[in-house]
Chains A and B, each alone.
Chain A
Amino acid sequence: MFLEFVEGPLWYASAAIFIFGVSLRLIEVLTRGMPPDLSAPRGPGWPGALRTLFSRSWTAEGFTRGATFHLVAGYMFHIGLFVLLLFAAPHVVFLEERVLGFGWTPAPHWLFILAADLAFAGLALLWLRRVMHPVMRKISTFDDHAAAILTFIVMFTGCMALLMSHESLRAIHMLTVCLLLIYFPFSRLMHAFTFFLSRGFTGAAMARKGVQA
């Protein structure tokens, strides 16, 4: 009964809030506008946008040593998470049956275990550093902690339901997923979509000025 509610009305509501909220936030960013750049453009903006979009995936020279922890743990988490989200067998089935109508080959068992372990370890290490490092502790807001903890809880409940044989465990996982979807547009998790815009804008603005950024 609870499972039907969570996979039915709650799922639709949270998916709607997610799509609606993300779109609204993106439109908000795009229509914000900036004061016009009155200088003569040195070149088109779009090559710089593309370049910066990819170049920001690694640290600038001289900063790598200080950022090693975040680079390693960050990539562990994000790559693990995407492999989990997109290629874990139950997710592929869910996407095929309820969202897209088509599916793809899911990941083999060993790859799933590897991705899940990397994702859990990366997220735990990142959040622990946020709590332990004096500077990060001081600048972290409720949103920072909530996003990390909520994501961890979603992954944890997913792990609990791995045997795929108890409705209660599946329902708990779906519930936390819906909560995350509702929370998403109002939080820093929007970086998943806005990082295109921020990197692109910085690159384009710099390219227009004739600067490699």
Chain B
Amino acid sequence: MARMKFFCDAERCIECNGCVTACKNVNEVPWGINRRRVVTINDGKPGERSLSVACMHCSDAPCMAVCPVDCFYQTADGLVLHDKDICIGCGYCFYACPFGAPQFPTEGAFGSRGKMDKCTFCAGGPEADGSAEERRKYGANRLAEGKLPACAEMCATKALLAGDADVVADIYRERVAYRGAAGMQRGWGVAYGKPGVQAGKDMKGKAAGKD
């Protein structure tokens, strides 16, 4: 079976937050819940890179391991989903997750932590595929319609890839080969006095380090 994964190519991400907007739109995510976010490292400095982060659907998911009510389940596609009816809003999954994927509404009953919400890879939840109940609780179920997650589909530069891990890996391998190792080495910090091999005068783009 295809194992579904996300991959964000930091060389291509332009921090447009299109993925964030697509996710919020398609899943009707309430205010204050951030299923996906874009993190920018060294903003404004040479070597600035951005990454789009949401649930990484880990093979050995820490959230699944620490949940006191065992509300997580892993689908045949390798996606880590959870059942909001079972969730008690304790927050342990949030402490354990390396990526901060679980989100909690603070305006739950009495302002205490409500049910956990997170990226579902646009695969919905345990309710029937495409039902109104599923849509209300978990957002869109695009996978059941044969589509890929909205964030990856929306990505302007195809930095964010989602889908069968083998296919994603192939795409990325092709990019690495095309860029060449030199693309990574050259010009990363050449300007502004960092050591390294000089970029050729005809090289263009980010790989040339002329940004």
Do A and B share a direct contact in the complex (Cβ within 8 angstroms)?
yes
What mask results when residues 78 to 114 of chain A are scored 1 for a CB within 8 Å of chain B, else 0?
Answer: 0000000000111000000000000000001100110
Q: Specify which chain B residues have a CB less than 8 angstroms from the CB of A163 in the assembled complex.
A: 88-89, 108-109, 112
- Interface: B115 (CB within 8 A): yes
Q: How many residues of A contact B (CB 8 A)?
A: 11
For the complex, what is the distance from the CA of A163 to the CA of B108, rounded to whole Å? 8
- Interface: B178 (CB within 8 A): no
Q: Specify which chain A residues have a CB less than 8 angstroms from the CB of B110 in the assembled complex.
A: 88-89, 109, 112-113, 162
A162 touches B111 (CB 8 A): no
- Interface: A164 (CB within 8 A): yes
What mask results when residues 62 to 96 of chain B are scored 1 for a CB within 8 Å of chain A, else 0?
Answer: 00000000000000000000000100110000000
- Interface: A141 (CB within 8 A): no
- Interface: A165 (CB within 8 A): yes
Q: In this complex, which of B85, B108, B110 has the most chain A Cβ atoms within 10 angstroms of its Cβ? A: B110
Q: Specify which chain A residues have a CB less than 8 angstroms from the CB of B85 in the assembled complex.
A: 165
B115 touches A162 (CB 8 A): no
Q: Specify which chain A residues have a CB less than 8 angstroms from the CB of B112 in the assembled complex.
A: 109, 162-163
Q: Specify which chain B residues have a CB less than 8 angstroms from the CB of A165 in the assembled complex.
A: 85, 88, 115
Query: In angstroms, how far is the closest chain A Cβ from the Cβ of B71?
Result: 12
Q: Which B residues are closer than 8 A to A by beta carbons? A: 85, 88-89, 108-112, 115
Q: Known pairs A89-B110, A162-B110; list 5 more (Cβ under 8 Å).
A: A89-B109, A108-B111, A109-B110, A162-B112, A163-B112
